[in-house]
Structure 1
Amino acid sequence: MNIQILDTTLRDGEQTPGVSLTTSEKFRIATKLDEIGVDFIEAGSAITSEGERESIKEITSQGFNAEILSFSRPLKGDIDYCIDCNVDAINLVVPTSDLHIAEKLKVTREELLDLSNDALDYCKDHDLKVELSAEDASRSDIDFLKLVYDNAIDHGVDRICVCDTVGILTPDLSFELFNKLSGIEVPIACHCHNDFGLAVANTLSALKGGATEIHTTINGIGERAGNTSFEECVASIDRLFPQFSTNIKINEIYDMSKLVARLTGVYIQPNKAIVGENAFAHESGIHSDGIIKNSATYEPMTPELVGRKRKFIIGKHMGTHGLNNRLKELGLNVDDNQLKQICDNIKVLADKGKTVTDVDLQVIADNVLEINHEDRIKLDEVTIVSGNKVMPTASVKITVDDEQILNAGVGLGPVDAAINAIKSLDIFKDIDLIEYHVDSITGGTDAFIDVIIKLQKADKVVSARGTEADIINASVKAYIAGVNRLLRD
């Protein structure tokens, strides 16, 4: 069975606190939604503002394949604004729980039915398709809910929707509710909120209960805890429910997700299913080894299916198989002994609380691969004089090609002075320091300092590192290590 998708990122998703999309941003999102095969796009709520109406008009003017809807209350004024925006259809939202009818609208059930029926007639008089969404349906009396739907069918409604407005359904209750409604003559949609983290589970259960359409937002954004996640539902239907299908180009899910995250400023938590940065990342040695042999061992789907790439994370849990794979990706070939040394060095850093990056790995690997090289320059001693009223001054004693040299320099700070004392020597001529980065590996005043630098000579660029409790020693050692590497090359 083909499941249709109504995406409400541009309406319900934009109700995320702090999110306000411009017309051009809404247009970009709508364009991508149409490209990837979304069936219905709720472009906004026309009654909201003039800017909202301009956005909807921009979208409706494009001739998208998707049906374009606007949210509307059962009021002629709202509907008139929708008509003015040239939408294909209206998502007519009618509260059906006694709580909403009595406390929010302050009308009777009979008056609510009249409102719904009159609004439907008005829409149909203007040749609009209508999906009637029963707001707070999950807390509504089931017999009255059916009555609202039956009346809507009598007045020409095209689709109906069950809204779990405050996310109180469970998967079992969702299946039961949709199963009770499955005899209704028009397609039934499911609109879930994620207040208890069950929106996706409830939506999938609704499909098993008889729903043929689902409402989603990209990345599950929306007010409070958000809405049903588009990417999680689409991937789940594709992989876990062979009896269902969608029209979505599933390999473009990640691009869609990143676009919405970038434009809304609502970024994705790393461990989010399908689109989170860690969704296809592996650090554990056991997992990495299994993945390399057969990705199905520790992945329920290939990352390429949803437009992703697999990552092996460098850290203390990684094994040699995953590490070797990452080294090869960086163009480094090592033997078993070198691989073990690199792995051990990574674990030493990771145990100190350091996040090991690709730059770190490159430096560690370079150091191990060059361990048998004789360095031309060796640091013997560095002394710093610095104070409140004293220009930082450094004296360094180094050995260059077995000749011991003593030199001095000044700088804006002690590190600058130490580097200047070294680089003024002829052997350092034409070597430029192009990047200098410092991290504190551990906490406290006795923290280990990790200095990573990049040096350039002609068109050759190298990275080097120094790790010490003393930032000056760490910086000087990193600088000399980089120069030695350039001189060898």
Structure 2
Amino acid sequence: MRFFDTTLRDGEQTPGVSLTPAEKLEIASHLSDIGVDVIEAGSAAASVGEREAIRLISDAGLAAECCTYVRALAQDIDLAADYGADSVHLVVPVSDLHIEKKLRKTREQVCEMAWNTVEYAKSRGLIVELSGEDASRADQQFLRELFREGIERGADRLCFCDTVGLLTPERAAGVIPPLCMAPLSIHCHDDLGFALATTVAALRAGATCAHTTVNGLGERAGNTAFEELVMSLEVLYGRRTGIETGKLYQLSTVVSRLTGVPLATNKPIVGEMAFTHESGIHAHGIMRDATTYESIKPEDVGRKRRIVLGKHSGSAAVETALHEMGYHPDPHQLAEIVGRIKQLGDAGKRITDADMMTIADAVFEIEYTPAIELRQFTIVSGSNAMPTASVTLLVQGEEITGAATGNGPVDAAIRALQRSVAAVGTVRLEQYHVDAIVGGTDALVDVTVKLSKDGKTVTSRGARTDIITASVEAVIAGMNRLLREEHENRSEDTD
């Protein structure tokens, strides 16, 4: 089977998403590298920027085919050919609703437009995928006739578009086989949550290509999610997709970052919680045999398993986490630590690594001297000023002042902190999360960060009424834990 990715066209039609040509090229490179067959780079007729993106992608020497969306218009075909596209996704309305209400034409007129455009595209040396828009609500006999003549005129491939997500898996099993007169694609939208199931059903019924978007991006409720379809086929149907699944998470995070559309925490495969466990029963089972509560290995999609602590955590999970941090409690100490963690969880707090270490230090009666102390920080930001931050820290007894600019005041503050501690270690910000804020203008902001240094990671939290102060507090807490003596003895006999 084949994968036709439309993240850069249908996915970019997600409200609020706009990608530069360079960003489209970056995503296209990842798509080609992971094994996608066709990349729909955009619509050449849409704008100068779209045409530049198509040119960049077509000139990049990628293994994937470069495609562009076109209407049944000669000028669209010319733009596609002139800017280096390998193929065109020729979309024509096929339901009477679209033909009459949107185009205000007849079936006969639509057919002639489609067939003539196929012939013209072939004369320009393009591969043609003839696509029926709103095919789910079309007269299926009319659709077959349009497709049949389209193939006679030179169309290389066909596509059934479930434009508003009305096709069911059961119906797909009936309507797809008669349309397989040439390689057939299935293009589903997720308006009613059926996109993935219907895409799988269409593939089982004879379709040979799936149209997808990374993270399920797209208009309204989005399109069939690439990563979910790949793993569903691999795991549930034993179908080798040819996709390098170990790169799925990296691709997902790149697309999320560049589009500005965050991943839902509970999203399958790539969401933050997909391989995260808190429940005592689940965590205990996972530690004994991961298959007890995981259908796939996190490593198979480029992820890592995570055990988080909270009010549902049991002694086994807490003890494992403590051992990883270098603590070796006796049964009494372990029970005390578990009790304190559950108290924080009952108070609605997420338990970070820094919280855990603070609790453990208190129970072990370890005197902990922070490596970093904040003396002061200043932020300058405004409509006519680049956000700039300066911080003064006491780093292992030495006063250091650093400054940095950023995309916003929080970004500037974190960059300034990173520069200030560069002499003692390179600390990277891996994740930044702000909990939902409710209440008035003085509501508490809860910031959680994930930091890393030399392969070691730690999470920490800051809670203040000011988001910048909360962020600085969280980062300093995490840095202190990362810069702590790596071989510090934290066993029960610590002095």
After TM superposition, the score normalised by the length of structure 1 is: 0.76
Task: Give the one of 181, 192, 197 matched to 1:196.
Answer: 192
Distance in 2 separating the partners of 1:367 and 1:274: 38
Give the Cα–Cα distance (whole angstroms) in 2 for the partners of residues 344 and 38 of structure 1.
50
User: 1:368 Cα shift?
Assistant: 1.2
Which of 306, 315, 318 matches 1:311? 306
1:133 and 1:194 mapped to 2: Cα distance? Answer: 18
1:172 and 1:199 mapped to 2: Cα distance?
13
SS in 1 for 2:176: helix
Where does residue 219 of structure 2 map in the other structure?
Answer: 223
Match of 2:347 among 346, 352, 372: 352
Shift of 1:331: 2.5
* Paired amino acid for 2:195: A
Counterpart residue identity of residue 75, structure 2? G
- The AA in structure 2 aligned to 1:321 is A
Q: Is the 8 A contact 1:40 1:67 kept in 2?
A: yes
- 1:431 deviates by 9.9
CA distance in 2, matches of 1:173, 1:318: 45
Alignment equivalent of 2:109, drawn from 104, 108, 111? 111
Aligned positions, number: 399
**Distance change >3 Å, CA 431–CA 125, structure 1 → 2:** closer
Match 1:139 to one of 117, 122, 137: 137
CA-CA distance at 1:449 after TM superposition: 13
The answer to whether 1:335 aligns with 2:330 is yes
The match for 1:403 is none
Taking a change above 3 Å as real, the CA distance of residues 357 and 166 of structure 1, as seen in their structure-2 partners, is: same
Q: What amino acid is aligned across from residue 57 of structure 2 in structure 1?
A: I
Secondary structure of the corresponding residue to residue 84 of structure 2:
coil
**Residue aligning to 1:206:** 202
Aligned with residue 93 of structure 2, among 84, 95, 106: 95
2:78 matched residue in structure 1: 80
Q: Residue in 2 aligned with 1:415?
A: none
Q: Report the 3-state secondary structure (helix = DSSP H, G, I; strand = E; otherwise coil) of the residue aligned with 2:161.
A: strand
Which residue identity lines up with residue 320 of structure 1 in the other structure? S
Offset of 1:178 from its aligned partner?
1.5
Question: AA paired with 1:217?
Answer: T
Q: Give the corresponding residue for 1:368.
A: 363
Matched residue of 1:70: which SS?
A: strand
In the alignment, the residues of structure 1 paired with residue 177 and residue 318 of structure 2 have an alpha-carbon distance, to the nearest angstrom, of 51
> In structure 2, what is the equivalent of residue 254 of structure 1?
249
- Which of 225, 229, 232 in structure 2 is aligned with 1:233? 229
Q: Could you tell me whether the CA contact under 8 Å between 1:8 and 1:217 is conserved in 2? A: yes
1:170 aligns with 2:165: no
The letter of the residue matching 1:198 is F
Matched, 1:58 2:56: yes
What letter is aligned with 1:226? G
Q: Counterpart in 2 of 1:424?
A: none
Residues 101 and 109, structure 1, Cα contact 8 Å, conserved in 2:
yes
Partners of 1:177 and 1:72 lie apart in 2 by: 25
CA contact under 8 A between 2:72 and 2:114: conserved in structure 1? Answer: yes
- Asked if the contact 1:363/1:464 (under 8 Å) is kept, the reply is no
SS of equivalent residue, structure 1 residue 149:
helix
Q: How far did residue 329 of structure 1 move? A: 2.3
| TM superposition shift of 1:113 | 0.8
Unpaired runs of at least 5, structure 1: 376-410, 413-428, 453-462, 468-474
**Equivalent pairs: percent with the same residue?**
49
Structure 1 residue 43: deviation in Å?
0.5
1:120 Cα deviation from its structure 2 partner:
0.4
Deviation (angstroms), 1:335: 2.4
**Does structure 1 conserve the Cα–Cα contact (< 8 Å) formed by 2:352 and 2:460?**
no
- In structure 2, distance between residues paired with 1:237 and 1:100: 33
Q: 1:49 aligns with which of 39, 47, 50?
A: 47
Larger Rg: 1
Decide which moves more: 12-21 or 325-334. 325-334
* Structure 2: segments with no counterpart, 5+ residues: 369-374, 377-395, 402-416, 418-434, 449-458, 464-472, 486-493
Secondary structure at 2:88's aligned position in 1? strand
AA aligned opposite 1:141: D
Call closer, same or farther: CA 1:264–1:464 in 2, change over 3 Å.
closer
Q: Aligned residue for 2:286?
A: 291
Residue 162 of structure 2 contacts residue 189 of structure 2 at CA under 8 Å; is this kept in 1?
yes
Residue of structure 2 aligned with 1:19, choices 17, 20, 23: 17
Q: Distance in 2 between matches of 1:273 and 1:114?
A: 43
Is 1:321 aligned to residue 319 of structure 2?
no
The letter of the residue matching 1:178 is I
Which residue identity lines up with residue 353 of structure 1 in the other structure? G
Provide the C-alpha distance between the structure 1 equivalents of 2:69 and 2:397, rounded to a whole number of angstroms.
66
Partner of 1:37: 35
What TM-score do you get using the length of structure 2 for normalisation? 0.75
AA of the residue aligned to 1:224: R
CA drift of 1:26 comes to 0.5
Distance of 2:444 and 2:164 partners within structure 1: 50
Shift of the 464–248 alpha-carbon distance from structure 1 to 2, 3 Å rule, reads: closer
Alignment check: 8 A CA contact 2:12 2:19 kept: yes
Q: After the TM superposition, which parts of structure 1 deviate over 6 Å for at least 4 consecutive aligned residues? A: 431-435, 447-450
Partner amino acid for 1:327? Answer: L
| Aligned partner letter, 1:253 | L
* Residue deviations 1:97-122 (CA, integer Å, cap 9, x gap): 00111111111111111011100000
Q: How far has the Cα of 1:443 moved from its partner?
A: 9.8
1:275 to 245, 270, 273: 270
Please say if 1:187 is aligned against 2:174: no
From the superposition, tell whether residues 322 and 433 of structure 1 become closer, same or farther in structure 2 (CA, over 3 Å): farther
Structure 2: how far apart are the matches of 1:81 and 1:324? 63
